[in-house]
Amino acid sequence: MWEDTAKPMQLGKLSPRELERLVFPFQGRKREEVLFGAHLGRDCGVLHFSGLLLSLTCDPVTGTAKHAGALAPHLVANDLIASGAEPVALLVSLLFPPETKASAIEDTMRELDAAASSLGFAILGGHTEITDAVLRPVIHCTGVGKIASSSPPDVTRVSPGDFIVMTKGAGIEGTGILALERAEELRGVFSEEELRKAQDFLKKVSVLPEGRVALAFSPHCLHDATEGGVLGAVWEVCAARNLGFVIDESKVFVFPETERLARHFGLDPLRLISSGTLLIFTPKPQPLLAALHEAGIPAGVIGQVTGNSRVLLRRNGQREEILECPQDELWRILEREK
């Protein structure tokens, strides 16, 4: 049973338990145009109008203020492609602290414009404000996408026996953010060239290429691994269906730069925010894997959906039962380093 306490909330996205208690019960009026509404493991709402399916989502950038304008459109584009939608339009809310200079606002807009253009977004409008309510810039994007399929992927289609395919590697976004936010500290760990390479991981955050490939194979569900990392993303999807999973840690690729950061900060790459990593739930992984590899996108099966417990098979052979959705490692490190 849920028990309210006076203890402050943790940094980062609310846990699935908190979302189900504090957020999901409050969804306004029921409307016939709503095909998919708010739900654990689902990042977009989908509306249908006379056969036209529109996907809508929103996301803030809160983990870093550096190059946030370049990052923000990718986060909503990733959610849209995971719902089966191509990016169409973007609304942007910008909150800047009082000491902000005009040049910083222009730089942010230039980054937003370049990223939006590369993804196919038109920026329709939004809101821009100087406010003492924030200590550093906050960028919040709302994305709109168009779905061509009449049966798009969704968390409700995930079934026992589905294979879990992961693209690229674990901890992509977290690697880039930590390399930027803790650059001075990491200069004692990385060379300048290695540090720049780790910072450039933020250029790997788009999952549009692999999403477009995957959609041709009618996957049951697509989910980009954001807060909570790969393990958190799998947990969310399976918990939404009251299902279990088995993930083999030895099958989860971790970039060398991420491994070095993990050793330095004492973090788990599987629990590190990972925009840029797409999880694909499918009963038939082999044709999909062949197509991804042909497109030059690294991918592999890391586990399978089950009907019971949620288990991580560690490299040393130990079975670790994952009882709760993991808190993201990024917030733990940033909070500790204050």
**Could you tell me where in the chain the CATH 3.30.1330.10 domains are found?**
31-147
Burial of residue 335, with CB atoms counted within 10 A of its CB: 0-12 exposed, 13-18 middle, 19 or more buried: exposed
Spacing of C-alpha 297 from chain mean position: 18
Higher pLDDT, 253 or 1: 253
**196-213: pLDDT as tens digits:** 999 999 999 999 999 999
- CATH, domain 31-147, list 3.30.1330.10, 3.20.20.70, 3.40.800.20, 3.30.160.100: 3.30.1330.10
Q: What 3-state DSSP class applies to 264? A: helix
Taking CB atoms within 8 Å and a gap of at least 24, the contacts of 126-133 are: 126/91, 126/92, 126/93, 126/94, 127/92, 127/93, 127/94, 128/93, 128/94, 128/96, 129/94, 129/95, 129/96, 130/96, 130/97, 130/98, 130/100, 131/95, 131/96, 131/97, 131/98, 132/97, 132/98, 133/95
**Could you tell me where in the chain the CATH 3.90.650.10 domains are found?**
155-336
pLDDT band at residue 5 using 50, 70 and 90 as cut-offs: low
Claim: this prediction has a pTM higher than 0.85: yes
Query: What's the topology of domain 155-336?
Result: Phosphoribosyl-aminoimidazole Synthetase; Chain A, domain 2 (3.90.650)
User: Phi/psi zone of residue 206: left (φ > 0), alpha (ψ -120 to 50 degrees), beta?
Assistant: beta
Instruction: Quote the CA–CA distance of 73 and 88 in Å, as a whole number.
Output: 11
Residue 41, pLDDT above cutoff 90 = no
Which stretches within the chain are classed as H helix?
A: 16-22, 68-82, 102-119, 172-181, 183-186, 192-199, 208-215, 229-240, 256-265, 285-294, 329-336
The first and second tokens of residue 214, run together, are: 């995957």
The first and second tokens of residue 136, run together, are: 């550093």
Q: How much is the average pLDDT of 7-28?
A: 82
**181-196: pLDDT as tens digits:** 899 999 988 999 999 9
**262-287: pLDDT as tens digits:** 999 999 999 999 999 999 999 999 99
Taking each helix axis as running N to C, give the angle between helix 329-336 and helix 172-181, from 0 to 180 degrees, rounded to the nearest 10.
10
**58-100: pLDDT as tens digits:** 988 876 667 888 899 999 999 999 999 999 999 999 999 999 9
323 and 4 in contact (C-beta within 8 Å)? no
Instruction: Quote the CA–CA distance of 127 and 124 in Å, as a whole number.
Output: 11
Question: Who contacts 5 (Cβ-Cβ below 8 Å, separation ≥6)?
Answer: none
Question: Who contacts 296 (Cβ-Cβ below 8 Å, separation ≥6)?
Answer: none
- Distances in Å between the Cα of 73 and the Cα atoms of 64, 158, 161, 237 are 14, 27, 34, 23
Instruction: Quote the CA–CA distance of 176 and 172 in Å, as a whole number.
Output: 7
Q: How much is the average pLDDT of 206-231?
A: 96
Question: Who contacts 117 (Cβ-Cβ below 8 Å, separation ≥6)?
Answer: none
Nearest Cα to Cα of residue 169 among 78, 293, 270: 270
Residue 279: φ, ψ to 5°: -105, 130
* Sole residue written with tokens 């005009």: 102
